[in-house]
Amino acid sequence: MKRPDPFQALCPTRRVLDRIGDTWAVLILIALDDGTLRFNELKRRIENISQKMLSQTLKSLERDGLIRREVFPTVPVTVEYSLTGLGRTLSQTVHQLTLWAESHIEEIEEAQLRYDRGLPPAAGKRIPLPLNLP
């Protein structure tokens, strides 16, 4: 079998990379890494996600086999979401990306400021920004 090549337009790997690149999917995976949650618990945990977007993203993640949706016959119906084994492996990878982002956010913000101000990039070390620039 030929190895997938994500640089090719029709490579199925791109669909997985799209999912990983989706902010809402990543936040849901991180939230579920802490344990099983109900729909409204997820909605409260993830600020600014609409009910429609949360529902769509949960369906996509379930379709991909990354989360499990369990329905309980209560009044009203209770629905809980949790990670599958496959979802847990992805969640661990996403968690590492999150840690990287958290530990490098100051450098990224500094680089953005330098870029926006037309300054050259810092050469591998932190250089304080001049305070008197616009």
Instruction: Return the residue matching tokens 């379709």.
Output: 63
Among 104, 106, 130, smallest CA distance to 118 is for 130
DSSP label at 67? E
Domains and CATH numbers, the chain: 13-116 (1.10.10.10)
pLDDT, residue 10, reads 87
Where is 86: in which H helix or E strand?
A: helix 85-116
pLDDT at 33: 94
What local confidence, expressed as pLDDT, does residue 101 receive?
92
Question: What's residue 6's pLDDT?
Answer: 87
| Statement: the pTM of the whole predicted model exceeds 0.85 | no
E strand intervals along the chain: 37-38, 67-72, 78-83
Residues of the chain with pLDDT under 50: 133-134
- Residue type, position 109, single letter: E
